[in-house]
Structure formats: structure tokens, C-alpha cells
């Protein structure tokens, strides 16, 4: 048997509070939870609001057009977003031209603040750049002829939080 000191929480009138409480009086609870023992669940994969530009396109060989997609777990005061992208660009991107934006993401999944991720592709000097609501391809120039070759598969995956 434990021999620790008992501690009690009391209200403003000095009455002891019970460990269990009425769910309706809990403040700042997630809106989508009915009780404290439920957690938010990831939604189905969706691609609503994803748009392509500068030749970017979904690498649609599997997943029925959901290779570029996201899903969200609504935790009430914040959301967890999982973003997966398998895409390509229908034109060469020469080395040294800077970021070429190829995908715009919907505002509904925008990360708070200044989310920025650079991901190496496994091909020397070619990177996927995720910043706020856009995905870009960057090709570094080491010598003449360096480029991202059109229609080459690029992938990107990240998980982040947002309160938007």
C-alpha cells in the first residue's frame, strides 16, 4: 500500500473536486470529440484544391489520381496534415534557373508560419522544395547540361501541424 500524501483539487468554495468531471464544462476541448477517450482520425486521402502549373502533373499510375493527395486529422484546436506527392514535370528544368513552382496546395492545409522543407531526390542537384502553399523543383548547376529531365518521377512526403 502506498504511503504518499493525499492531494485534493478544490473549487473556489473549498469543496473537493472529483477526478471525474462533466465533459460539458471542459474548456478548449476539440470540437470533434464527444468524450475524452476519443481521438481525431485521419480523413480519407483527397486532392481537392491541388493545382498544377509550369508543366507539373500527378504521376497517376496507381491510387486512382491520388498520388498527389493529403489527409487531415482534426484535433480541435489544431490539425495534423499528411501530404504525399508523386509527380512529374512535362518540361526539362535547366540547372541554375532557381525554383520552378509546379504545385499549389489548398489554403485549407497551409502550415502555420513559415514551413519550409528541402528534400533531395536522389539525383545529383535536384531537389523538391516545399514552402507554405507551393511545391517547387530546383536543379542546381554544376556544369553545362545539368537539368531535371522532363517526365522524371519526383516524390515528397511530410507531416505537419496547422491551426488554420
Quickly state the pLDDT bin for 11 (edges 50, 70, 90): confident
Quickly state the pLDDT bin for 77 (edges 50, 70, 90): confident
At residue 85, the pLDDT reads 95
What is the β-pairing status of strands 69-74 and 51-52?
unpaired
Cell of 6: 493525499
> How confident is the model over 70-93, as a mean pLDDT?
91
If you average pLDDT over every residue of the chain, what do you get?
83
At residue 53, the pLDDT reads 96
Give this prediction's pTM.
0.73
Quickly state the pLDDT bin for 62 (edges 50, 70, 90): low
- pLDDT, one tens digit per residue, over 125-161 is 899 999 988 999 999 988 888 888 999 999 999 998 8
**Residue 45 pLDDT greater than 90, yes or no:** yes
Q: How many CA atoms lie within 13 A of 57 on its CB side?
A: 10
Hunting for cell 502555420 — which residue is that?
Answer: 112
> How confident is the model over 87-99, as a mean pLDDT?
92
- Other beta carbons within 10 Å of 60: 14
Cell of 48: 481537392
At residue 22, the pLDDT reads 63
At residue 27, the pLDDT reads 65
Q: What angle do CA 55, 115, 108 make, to 5 degrees?
A: 70
At residue 129, the pLDDT reads 94
* Alpha carbon separation from 14 to 6, 8, 10, 17, 21 (Å, rounded): 16, 10, 5, 9, 16
> How confident is the model over 65-90, as a mean pLDDT?
90
Amino acid at each position: 500500500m502506498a504511503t504518499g500524501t493525499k492531494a485534493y483539487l478544490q473549487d473556489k468554495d473549498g469543496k473537493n473536486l472529483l477526478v471525474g468531471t462533466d465533459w460539458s464544462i471542459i474548456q478548449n476541448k476539440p470540437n470533434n470529440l464527444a468524450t475524452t477517450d476519443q481521438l481525431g482520425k485521419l480523413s480519407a486521402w483527397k486532392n481537392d484544391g491541388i493545382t498544377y502549373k509550369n508543366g507539373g502533373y500527378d504521376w497517376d499510375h496507381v491510387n486512382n489520381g491520388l498520388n498527389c493527395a493529403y489527409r487531415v486529422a482534426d484535433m480541435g484546436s489544431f490539425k495534423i496534415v499528411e501530404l504525399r506527392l508523386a509527380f512529374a514535370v512535362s518540361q526539362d528544368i535547366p540547372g541554375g534557373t532557381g525554383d520552378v513552382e509546379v504545385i499549389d496546395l489548398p489554403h485549407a492545409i497551409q502550415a502555420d508560419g513559415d514551413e519550409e522543407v528541402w528534400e533531395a531526390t536522389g539525383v545529383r542537384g535536384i531537389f523538391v522544395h516545399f514552402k507554405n502553399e507551393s511545391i517547387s523543383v530546383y536543379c542546381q548547376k554544376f556544369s553545362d547540361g545539368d537539368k531535371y529531365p522532363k517526365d522524371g518521377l519526383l516524390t515528397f512526403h511530410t507531416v505537419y501541424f496547422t491551426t488554420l
